[in-house]
C-alpha cells in the first residue's frame, strides 16, 4: 500500500512540474468558426448550443464532439463545454506560443475549456499529450485531467469511487526538458 501511495505521489509530482510554452496568444482575437448538424444561437445571452458532429475552430484551437455549448462573457471570453459519445469522443487541440509546431492535444468523454483562465478539463477516459513536430513529448492518462496553461500545471484526478487496489489510476510519460524546447 505504501509503495502504491509513493508511486502515485511521485507521478503527481512529475505531472505538476512546470512547462515553459504558453497557449497561442493570437487565439484570443480570432473569430469562432462553428460547424454542427444543428446550431442554436441566443445572441442576447451570448449562448450557442451545438448538436451533432461539432467542429469548433478559434485560431489554433480545434474542438470536436457531439453535443456542446459555448457561453461568451461580457469581456468576450468563451467558456466551451463539449461532450462526446461512445462512437465519437470529444477532442481538443491547441498550438503553443513560442515554439513552432508544439501542440497540446487531448480527448475524453467531455472537454471543457475556459478561455479567460486558460484552463482545460478533460473528463472520462481522458488523455492529454504535448506534441512537438507531431512527436509525443508528454502524455497523461486518467479519469480526469486538469491543465492550467497560465500556471503550466497538470493534474490527473482518479474517479471518486476509486480503490487503492485499482492503482495506477493515473499514468504519465514525461520527456526530459531539452534546451530546444525551453527556448522561446
Q: Which domains does the chain have, with CATH numbers?
A: 2-182 (2.60.450.10)
Q: Cα–Cα distance between 92 and 114 in angstroms, integer?
A: 12
Q: In whole numbers, what is the pLDDT of the chain averaged over residues?
A: 82
Q: Cα–Cα distance between 67 and 50 in angstroms, integer?
A: 6
Question: Under a CB-based contact definition with an 8 Å cutoff, are residues 103 and 130 in contact?
Answer: yes
3-state class (DSSP) for residue 165:
helix
Q: According to the model, what pLDDT value does residue 9 have?
A: 31
Span 26-72, pLDDT tens digits:
667 888 899 999 999 999 999 999 999 999 999 999 999 999 999 99
Stated pTM of the model: 0.79
Lowest mean pLDDT segment, chosen from 9-23, 63-77, 78-92? 9-23
Rg (CA), the chain: 17
Q: Which residue has the cell 467542429?
A: 55
Q: What's the grid cell of residue 65? A: 464532439
* Residue bearing the bigger pLDDT, 18 or 91: 91
User: Quick one: which H or E segment has residue 4?
Assistant: helix 2-15
Q: According to the model, what pLDDT value does residue 7 have?
A: 33
Q: What is the average per-residue pLDDT within 158-181? A: 72
Q: What's the grid cell of residue 123? A: 473528463
Q: What is the average per-residue pLDDT within 70-89? A: 94
Q: What is the average per-residue pLDDT within 95-124? A: 92
- Give the model's confidence band at 77: pLDDT under 50 very low, under 70 low, under 90 confident, else very high: very high
* Residue bearing the bigger pLDDT, 165 or 10: 165
Q: Does pLDDT of 129 surpass 60? A: yes
Amino acid at each position: 500500500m505504501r509503495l502504491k501511495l509513493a508511486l502515485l505521489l511521485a507521478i503527481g509530482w512529475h505531472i505538476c512540474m512546470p512547462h515553459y510554452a504558453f497557449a497561442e496568444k493570437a487565439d484570443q482575437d480570432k473569430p469562432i468558426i462553428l460547424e454542427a448538424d444543428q446550431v442554436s444561437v441566443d445572441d442576447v445571452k451570448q449562448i450557442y448550443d451545438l448538436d451533432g458532429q461539432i467542429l469548433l475552430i478559434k485560431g489554433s484551437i480545434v474542438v470536436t464532439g457531439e453535443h456542446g455549448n459555448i457561453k461568451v462573457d461580457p469581456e468576450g471570453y468563451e467558456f466551451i463545454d463539449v461532450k462526446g459519445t461512445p462512437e465519437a469522443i470529444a477532442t481538443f487541440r491547441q498550438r503553443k506560443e513560442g515554439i513552432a509546431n508544439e501542440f497540446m492535444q487531448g480527448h475524453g468523454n467531455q472537454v471543457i475549456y475556459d478561455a479567460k483562465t486558460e484552463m482545460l478539463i478533460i473528463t472520462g477516459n481522458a488523455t492529454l499529450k504535448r506534441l512537438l513536430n507531431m512527436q509525443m513529448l508528454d502524455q497523461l492518462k486518467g479519469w480526469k485531467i486538469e491543465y492550467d496553461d497560465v500556471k503550466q500545471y497538470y493534474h490527473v484526478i482518479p474517479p471518486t469511487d476509486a480503490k487503492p487496489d485499482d492503482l495506477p489510476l493515473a499514468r504519465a510519460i514525461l520527456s526530459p526538458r531539452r534546451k530546444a524546447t525551453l527556448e522561446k
